[in-house]
Amino acid sequence: MLPTDVPALWLRDNCTCADCRDPLTDQKLFQITDLPEQLAVGTLRALDGGDAVDGAEGWEVVWAPDGHVSRYPAHWLQQTGEPDPRTEDAKDLWGSAATLADGLPETTWSAYLADDAERLRMLEAVARLGFCLLRDVPLRDGQAQQVARTFGFVRETNYGTQFEVRVEERPNNLAFTNVAITPHTDNPYRDPVPTLQLLHCLVNDAEGGDSGLVDGFAAAAALRESDVGAFAALTGTPVPFAFRDDVTELSTHRPLIGTDPMGRIREVRFNNRSLGTLRLPAEQTEAFYAGYRAFARLLLDPERQLDFKLGPGDCLVFDNTRLLHARTAFARGGARHLQGCYADLDGLLSTVGVLRRREAQPC
């Protein structure tokens, strides 16, 4: 590809010379309005041998009308854009537990800490599959937060920096009882929603209390394939989500399926316990509820749910914007105690990027 094959303004905007970008931060030193209005390639010269750009063949552009000089490696011109890591294009969707033929993405806590490649493998699993499972995590108070800090920062909410998932005498959420919890996303009433959740098992001796995960992106993609109208209703209808207790009042309006401007699935918010009262014209309300029921049938299909039981020392890390999690009921007299916390995908994806850079560097 030649520099003349791409828009001139784009090419000039990506000049990396010291006049255009700070050498230390790599941040731009100009505004787009600083560039000439009638920008064009003045002269073009191939670079190789001693003239190569950072050792690679490339091109030198002298710009008209201002005479600015830019250099571009040939391999850089050939690159294609990376997909948004938050959207379905960057994910490996799984419609059922059977799809995970290679087993669960899991490792031990000691291996995760000791080996950057193993840590990268687990964090990439969260980015691609939506979750990973760390085994033999120490049974200490606050350990879920320590796990979160290996890749990002703890997200504090009205539940604090961590929350206790156990039976409470006066619960403000059904999660803190022994009843079954159907597949759902956490905190849909919050904007922005916590994008990652961690659950660390301290005790699980109760009869029942098994965990489950459902790929909401896969279900949303299946709905789009089978019922275009239902998909359109759920992506185009903001619905109220709300949570309140004695000291908290939270609400937001968001669609059940969030998409980016190109229509790619980017977020799922599904929580029947927190869904408020929709007040729209009858025709629009009927379309939403038809889509809501169709989506719920997919999400609540047992064939789509990955079931497992967390044991002491297991820490589940999962994408709360994509995966729904569930729990079976358990005997009230049995001991079951998980500690949880929230974190955010941007921190995890940042750590993935840094680990990939390290892996690519020659020894």
3 state SS for 297-349: HHHCCHHHCEEECCCCCCEEEEECCCEEEEECCECCCCCEEEEEEEECHHHHH
Mean pLDDT for all residues in the chain: 94
What is the predicted pLDDT for the residue at 98? 84
What is the predicted pLDDT for the residue at 333? 67
> Using an 8 Å Cβ cutoff, are 299 and 219 in contact?
yes
State the residue for tokens 């799922």: 268
Mean pLDDT of 70-80: 94
The span from the CA of 126 to the CA of 343, in Å, is 12
Q: Is the model's pLDDT at 206 over the cut of 90?
A: no
User: Confidence class of residue 353 from pLDDT cuts 50, 70 and 90?
Assistant: very high
The token duo for 293 is 């029921």
Mean pLDDT of 147-171: 90
Q: Is the model's pLDDT at 332 over the cut of 80?
A: no
What is the predicted pLDDT for the residue at 52? 77
What is the predicted pLDDT for the residue at 172? 66
pLDDT in tens, 24-67: 999 999 999 999 999 999 999 999 877 777 778 999 999 999 99
Question: Looking at residue 178, what DSSP letter applies?
Answer: S
The span from the CA of 150 to the CA of 340, in Å, is 15
Mean pLDDT of 202-226: 93
The token duo for 73 is 């490696």
Q: Is the model's pLDDT at 170 over the cut of 80?
A: no
- Mark 244-277 as b/e (b = at least 16 C-beta within 10 Å): eeeeeebebebbbbbbeeeebbbbbbbbeebbee
What is the predicted pLDDT for the residue at 50? 75
pLDDT in tens, 54-66: 778 999 999 999 9
Q: Is the model's pLDDT at 141 over the cut of 80?
A: yes
What is the predicted pLDDT for the residue at 169? 63
Strands 323-327 and 181-184: antiparallel
What is the predicted pLDDT for the residue at 1? 86
User: Confidence class of residue 335 from pLDDT cuts 50, 70 and 90?
Assistant: confident
The span from the CA of 188 to the CA of 275, in Å, is 8
What is the predicted pLDDT for the residue at 72? 95
Q: Which of 356, 329, 319 is nearest to 196 (CA)?
A: 319
Mean pLDDT of 160-182: 78
Distance of CA 156 to the CA centre of its chain: 18
Neighbours of 149 (CB within 10 A): 13
Cα dihedral value 162, 164, 165, 171, nearest 10: -110
User: Reduced to 3 states, what is the DSSP secondary structure of residue 199?
Assistant: strand
- Rounded to 5 degrees, φ, ψ at 89 are -65, -25
What is the predicted pLDDT for the residue at 112? 98
pLDDT in tens, 252-306: 999 999 999 999 999 999 999 999 999 999 999 999 999 999 999 999 999 999 9
Mean pLDDT of 74-97: 94
> Using an 8 Å Cβ cutoff, are 77 and 10 in contact?
no
Report DSSP letters for 260-298, one per residue. Answer: -TT--EEEE---TTTB------HHHHHHHHHHHHHHHHH
User: Confidence class of residue 180 from pLDDT cuts 50, 70 and 90?
Assistant: confident
Mean pLDDT of 10-18: 97
Pick 205 or 110 by higher pLDDT.
110
What is the predicted pLDDT for the residue at 94? 96
What is the predicted pLDDT for the residue at 328? 85
Q: Is the model's pLDDT at 227 over the cut of 80?
A: yes
The span from the CA of 343 to the CA of 161, in Å, is 10
Q: Domains in the chain, please, with CATH?
A: 3-78 (3.30.2020.30), 88-356 (3.60.130.10)
Give me the amino acid identity at 213. L
Sign of CA dihedral 44, 47, 52, 58: positive
Burial (0-12, 13-18, 19+ Cβ within 10 Å), 226 = exposed
